[in-house]
Chains A and B, each alone.
Chain A
Amino acid sequence: MSRLRLSEVKSFWGWILNAFKTSVSLTLIIAAVLLLELLSAAQYYYTHNLMEDELEKHAEMELTTKAIIAKGIVNNSERYFKSHIMEVKRNLANPDSLYGIMAWILKYSPNMKGCGIAFNPSYYKDRESLFEPYALRTDSGIQRLQLASKRFDYTKDGFYRYIQEKKTNSWVGPYNDVYLGEKLISYALPLYDFMGDTVAVFGFDVDIHSLGDTLNYRHIYPSSFEFLLTEDGKLIAGPSDPSLQQRVDEVIRVINDSTVKKSWSKEGRVRTTTFYDKEAGDELSVFFANIRGEPRWQIAVVCYDDEVYGSLNALRIRLLLLSLLVFGILLYIVRRFANNEEKLKQKTLEEERIAGELRVAKQIQQSMLPSQHMHQRDVEICGSLVPAREVGGDLFDYFIRDGKLFFCIGDVSGKGAPSAMLMGVIHSLFRAFSAHENNPARIMQAINDASCRGNDANMFVTLLLGVLDLPTGHLRYCDAGHDAPIILGPSGSQIRNLPVIPHLPVGVFGDTRYAVQEMQLSPGIIIFLYTDGLTEAKNEERKQFGLQRTWALLGKCAEKNPQQILEAVTREVHQFVGSAEQSDDLTMLAIRYTPHQFESTLTETLVLKNDVHEVPKLSTFMKSVAEKIGLDTSLSRQLRLAVEEAVVNVIDYAYPSSIEGSIEVRMMSLADHSLKIMVIDSGAPFDPTVKERTDTSLPAEERQIGGLGILLVRELMDSINYEREGGKNILTLVKKLKK
């Protein structure tokens, strides 16, 4: 117990209180235990009552029995004594013979202490005035004594005096006998001679000790004791144990105290009361009754409650301890289960949290994807990504910048959250590098460099990048270990793989060198890109969907639009897979090239030398074109500015200063009410569209001197497109004319 610290106790108590509030099962257990205790208390109460009744009955029986015995003893003595009266009367003239008679009576009355005749003073003339022949029982036999002497004057007290006063048979005492020096109770009667005159008092003394011992011979309870009282409540005989005397006196006092309530027993034969004895340290139950007939004595028995109900109390304590033990065990079990419950709850919460986070991650991944479907004038795209788990390691992306379609499809090794994270990185890199680079091989290179640095997880990505110049249909692409896309059309069932150089996937080696490939797309061509989740989709027999099946299916899709193609493929795959679990992310991207070439209603061309002094020629040129088409001055100035900036850029960057070259400016008015301006030169390859955008929000001190030209071109025109073709830089600017 000394090892139990206050803090531990407090925390245990606190735990209990808390457990009450939170645990239903604990409350139930407490309620059950309380009910049990209640039941046990009720049982105790009833059992106690039953035992009380039993005690009463027992005490009654005991008192009855002992009363019979006591009465028997006393009555027998009385009767035997009385039967000798005649003999005594006849022998009155012979006083010496009286000793013999006394001794005789005493001999056959073992319960008498003594027997004697106290003659009236001077009855016998020749004897002393006080003459009392007496027989006394001692340890060494029956003694014959002449009890009276100068010292012991029986006329003064004792039974002689009492009977003389009473003049009748009577029980006398208890009183202290002077001669014997002890308490006596006596039966005496006046003795008459044959003439009818009183001559003496004839009586016998009861052996109180033996009477008391007889009473207390067998106890109903170990410490019980019994005693006899006179009618007026004086002790006659009781237990001989001197240590009990005080208690006996106390009980007698209670019996005689009329203010103490006494109740009748159920049978109505004895009266009873209980009181707390301080010396005994216990409740005492007292049962007493009057003995019927002469002598009119009372008999009482005293029981200690501890002894009476001792077994019941012991049982109660044992039950209490047992229920505490059971409670303790149940508490322990509940605590264990609560702990398990708690752990389970935590685990479930944890799982829910993770599931929740994956759901959010899935949303993020979904939002990273471009819209499923894009339909523009020159191109139609449809993509779909179905992850095997909440989040996937596949990716597709596309966007249009400066008249070029940038697209990609990729597959990270593995699936699930780790792959999804890496794919997020690759996606960001693709977007970042494509903002300022039109060459897919260089984009791939940059992505590889970035992902090889700090790739601790040894994950790699298969990737296919493509850049399609929409005005010209010129496709540039680069493959890093990814499945070759399938080319459909432009007509009928032409189906073939896009020829790819399968470089190493991205993120494997930092020194991989990627090369660009080129292809010219005819109008109506469909590019179908996919990841191995399609070709390796397994059904229940673990057979794969396969490339052949894919080819066969796509062969029927040449006339379909990208959305229809993806729907058809998805349907086929689902049918094939059936009820088997999706084993890998399923990703597809279909691109249909549908360039619209509009007729030009007017074409004007101006050729300049690569000299800034030629620039003013643009003024007149633009004014004349504006007049022909019918443009207002403001618009015409805008267009002129855009063209001038484009031309100046070419002069500055495409042609090193010493070389002479020419710049062609071609203005076309198209049937769709747009103005197309082409700036063509045969200088060094120079792509103005990949320059960093100028930050127009900077304050004056931080503004850079350069970059304004291309900025103005972008802002003034609706679209800008650069393509290097046939050794020439072709910059195409388009402005939509509002009519």
Chain B
Amino acid sequence: MKTTIEKIDGKYVATLVGEMDTAAAAEAEETLKQLYQAGGSDVVIDCTGLEYIASSGLRILLGILKGAKASGSCVVLRGVNDDIKNVFKLTGFISIFEFE
């Protein structure tokens, strides 16, 4: 799985490509943990290339969301596929995240 972060127009854009299983999530966290304190900037997570996510991945996203809310910025998930959307529904994450 590939994880990249860029700053575009004052926003953080994280791009996730591949399958984020428990093992991959552990690795990805190393990169993504900087977003836990986005410092007021909005965060966009591009999931167009994300095929699969497990609960540890969800945990990371929740962590980013909590950090952003605390500093008043927002988090947007872009291009989430139907299977992953279903997972969000089952866990109730569908109502706490914004989708594009």
Residues of A near any B CB (own CB < 8 A): 612-613, 615-616, 618-619, 633-634, 637-638, 640-641, 644-645, 648, 694-701, 703, 705, 708-709, 711-712, 715-716
16 more CB-based (< 8 A) A-B contacts, given A638-B86, A645-B55: A615-B23, A616-B23, A618-B21, A633-B83, A637-B83, A644-B21, A648-B54, A694-B91, A701-B66, A701-B69, A703-B92, A705-B59, A705-B62, A708-B55, A712-B87, A712-B90
Using CB atoms, name the residue of chain A closest to B55.
Answer: A708
Q: What 9 pairs across the A-B complex have the smallest Cβ distances?
A: A696-B92, A708-B55, A715-B90, A700-B96, A709-B55, A615-B22, A615-B23, A648-B22, A637-B83
> Which residue, A613, A694, A698, A708, has most C-beta atoms of chain B within 10 A?
A708
Indicate whether A644 sits within 8 Å of B22 (C-beta atoms), given known contacts A712-B55, A712-B87.
yes
Using CB atoms, name the residue of chain B closest to A649.
Answer: B55
Contact (Cβ within 8 A) A700 B55: no
Contact (Cβ within 8 A) A703 B62: yes
Contact (Cβ within 8 A) A700 B58: no
Residues of A within 8 A of B62 (CB): 700, 703, 705
Whether B49 sits at the interface, judged by CB under 8 Å, is: no
Using CB atoms, name the residue of chain B closest to A648.
Answer: B22
Q: Would you give the shortest CB distance from A618 to chain B, in whole angstroms? A: 8
**Which of B24, B51, B69, B90 contacts A700 (CB under 8 A)?**
B69
Contact (Cβ within 8 A) B21 A615: yes
Interface residues of B in 3-24 (CB under 8 A from A): 19, 21-24
Residues of B within 8 A of A640 (CB): 52
Using CB atoms, name the residue of chain B closest to A633.
Answer: B83
Residues of A within 8 A of B51 (CB): 637
Residues of B within 8 A of A637 (CB): 51-52, 83
Contact (Cβ within 8 A) A700 B65: yes
Using CB atoms, name the residue of chain B closest to A705.
Answer: B59
**Which of B54, B59, B69, B83 contacts A634 (CB under 8 A)?**
B83
Contact (Cβ within 8 A) B54 A641: yes
Indicate whether A645 sits within 8 Å of B54 (C-beta atoms), given known contacts A634-B82, A700-B69, A715-B90.
yes
- When chains A and B are docked, how far (Å) is the Cα of A640 from the Cα of B54? 10
Question: Can you report 6 A-B residue pairs in the complex whose CB atoms are below 8 A from each other?
Answer: A644-B54, A648-B54, A694-B91, A700-B65, A700-B66, A705-B59
Q: Would you give the shortest CB distance from A621 to chain B, in whole angstroms? A: 12
Contact (Cβ within 8 A) B63 A705: yes
Residues of A within 8 A of B63 (CB): 705
Q: Would you give the shortest CB distance from A541 to chain B, in whole angstroms? A: 64
Indicate whether A696 sits within 8 Å of B91 (C-beta atoms), given known contacts A634-B82, A708-B59, A709-B55.
yes
- When chains A and B are docked, how far (Å) is the Cα of A640 from the Cα of B53? 10
- When chains A and B are docked, how far (Å) is the Cα of A645 from the Cα of B25? 13
Whether B73 sits at the interface, judged by CB under 8 Å, is: no
Using CB atoms, name the residue of chain B closest to A614.
Answer: B23
- When chains A and B are docked, how far (Å) is the Cα of A700 from the Cα of B62? 7
- When chains A and B are docked, how far (Å) is the Cα of A709 from the Cα of B25? 14
- When chains A and B are docked, how far (Å) is the Cα of A638 from the Cα of B55? 12
Contact (Cβ within 8 A) B90 A716: yes
Whether B41 sits at the interface, judged by CB under 8 Å, is: no
Residues of B within 8 A of A705 (CB): 59, 62-63
- When chains A and B are docked, how far (Å) is the Cα of A712 from the Cα of B26? 19
Residues of B within 8 A of A618 (CB): 21
- When chains A and B are docked, how far (Å) is the Cα of A711 from the Cα of B93? 12
- When chains A and B are docked, how far (Å) is the Cα of A250 from the Cα of B95? 117
- When chains A and B are docked, how far (Å) is the Cα of A640 from the Cα of B55? 12
Whether B37 sits at the interface, judged by CB under 8 Å, is: no
Residues of B within 8 A of A694 (CB): 91-92
- When chains A and B are docked, how far (Å) is the Cα of A554 from the Cα of B61? 61
Residues of A within 8 A of B65 (CB): 700
- When chains A and B are docked, how far (Å) is the Cα of A715 from the Cα of B94? 15
**Which of A616, A633, A697 contacts B92 (CB under 8 A)?**
A697
Q: Would you give the shortest CB distance from B33 to chain A, in whole angstroms? A: 14
Indicate whether A612 sits within 8 Å of B22 (C-beta atoms), given known contacts A641-B52, A701-B69, A705-B59.
yes
Q: Would you give the shortest CB distance from A239 to chain B, in whole angstroms? A: 123
- When chains A and B are docked, how far (Å) is the Cα of A645 from the Cα of B59? 13
**Which of A619, A699, A708 contacts B21 (CB under 8 A)?**
A619
Residues of B within 8 A of A695 (CB): 92
Residues of A within 8 A of B91 (CB): 694, 696, 708, 711-712, 715
**Which of B21, B23, B26, B83 contacts A638 (CB under 8 A)?**
B83
Residues of A within 8 A of B22 (CB): 612, 615, 644, 648
Residues of A within 8 A of B86 (CB): 638
- When chains A and B are docked, how far (Å) is the Cα of A694 from the Cα of B90? 11
Residues of A within 8 A of B66 (CB): 700-701
Residues of A within 8 A of B55 (CB): 645, 648, 708-709, 712
Using CB atoms, name the residue of chain A closest to B57.
Answer: A708
- When chains A and B are docked, how far (Å) is the Cα of A615 from the Cα of B55? 13
Contact (Cβ within 8 A) B87 A641: yes
Q: Would you give the shortest CB distance from B76 to chain A, in whole angstroms? A: 14
Residues of A within 8 A of B95 (CB): 697
Residues of A within 8 A of B54 (CB): 641, 644-645, 648
Q: Would you give the shortest CB distance from A693 to chain B, in whole angstroms? A: 11
Interface residues of B in 56-100 (CB under 8 A from A): 56, 58-59, 62-63, 65-66, 69, 82-83, 86-87, 90-92, 95-96
- When chains A and B are docked, how far (Å) is the Cα of A89 from the Cα of B66? 168
Residues of B within 8 A of A645 (CB): 54-55
Residues of B within 8 A of A711 (CB): 90-91
Residues of A within 8 A of B19 (CB): 616, 619
Indicate whether A699 sits within 8 Å of B96 (C-beta atoms), given known contacts A645-B54, A712-B55.
yes
Contact (Cβ within 8 A) A703 B90: no
- When chains A and B are docked, how far (Å) is the Cα of A712 from the Cα of B58? 11
- When chains A and B are docked, how far (Å) is the Cα of A634 from the Cα of B51? 10
Indicate whether A613 sits within 8 Å of B23 (C-beta atoms), given known contacts A705-B62, A709-B55.
yes
Using CB atoms, name the residue of chain B closest to A641.
Answer: B54
Using CB atoms, name the residue of chain B closest to A613.
Answer: B23
Residues of A within 8 A of B96 (CB): 699-700, 703
Using CB atoms, name the residue of chain A closest to B75.
Answer: A700
Residues of A within 8 A of B90 (CB): 696, 711-712, 715-716
- When chains A and B are docked, how far (Å) is the Cα of A387 from the Cα of B54? 53
- When chains A and B are docked, how far (Å) is the Cα of A289 from the Cα of B51? 144
